[in-house]
Amino acid sequence: MSMDLDSASQWAEVLGLVTIFGAAIYSWITIKEMKKDRKASSSLKLSELWQNKDFSHGSISIWMQPDDLKSFKELEEFHGENYPKVFTVLLTWESIAITLHDGHFDFDVVRKQFSLSMITAWQKNRLIIENFRKEQESEQAFEWLQWVAERMIDYYDGEEEVIPAQIAYKDWKPS
């Protein structure tokens, strides 16, 4: 039994369509996995910030500073030799906020790891930044710190009840 040219070309078309469809499915799965890997990688990279002694120390220093400092000069005087660490934390929140806005970080990952520190950094330095903006006649100083802190605050304000992880996930088991 031989196949004629017409039948062979029809089977070749079907095989071609199946191949194209299979490649599309494979590509979709691969892209989905790559996105998952990218999210995991960026999450891990972000968590490494807390392992940096200077960064952690700068964050703690911000938590300990008074709420009524009015200028970067007062900030520098209060923190002394730790001032560069504090400033590095503020600039890091700026960078993370920009990257988050541009879609390179997942909001929930950033929120879970940093929201309280970002909100605190903004609240503790708001007066300093607003005064600096007035002096410079520009709204751009630490605009992204403000933006990310406000997004975090909006998130928590929108939640009916924020349940701490130790309560929300107390029944969680590894898969």
What is the full per-residue pLDDT of the chain (175 aa) written as tens digits? Answer: 566 888 878 888 888 888 898 888 888 888 888 877 777 788 888 889 999 999 999 999 999 999 999 999 999 999 999 999 999 999 999 999 999 999 989 999 999 999 999 999 999 999 999 999 999 999 999 999 999 999 999 999 988 888 888 998 999 999 8
Q: Quote the CA–CA distance of 152 and 146 in Å, as a whole number.
A: 10
**Per-residue pLDDT at 75:** 97
**Same domain membership, residue 105 and residue 19:** no
63 with 34, same domain: the answer is no
Question: In the numeric block, which tokens belong to residue 128?
Answer: 């300093």
Please check whether residues 35 and 64 belong to one and the same domain.
no
Contact assessment for residue 49 and residue 92, using Cβ atoms and an 8 Å cutoff: yes
- Phi, psi (rounded to 5 degrees) for 126: -55, -50
> pTM to 2 decimals?
0.77
Q: What residues have CB less than 8 Å from 120, skipping those under 6 apart? A: 62, 63
Residue 21 lies in a domain: yes
| Residue 76 phi, psi dihedral angles, 5° rounding | -65, -45
Domain hosting 161: range is 52-165
Q: Are residues 102 and 25 in the same domain?
A: no
Q: What is the pLDDT of residue 120?
A: 97
- In this structure, the answer to whether residues 99 and 138 fall within a common structural domain is yes
State the distance between the two ends of the chain, measured CA to CA, in whole angstroms. Answer: 54
Indicate whether 8 and 58 sit together in one domain: no
Considering the domain architecture, whether residues 90 and 4 belong to the same structural domain is answered as no
Does any domain span residue 47? no
pLDDT of residue 1: 53
> What's the confidence (pLDDT) of residue 41?
80
How many domains, the chain? Answer: 2
Say how many CA atoms lie within 13 Å of 103 toward its Cβ: 1
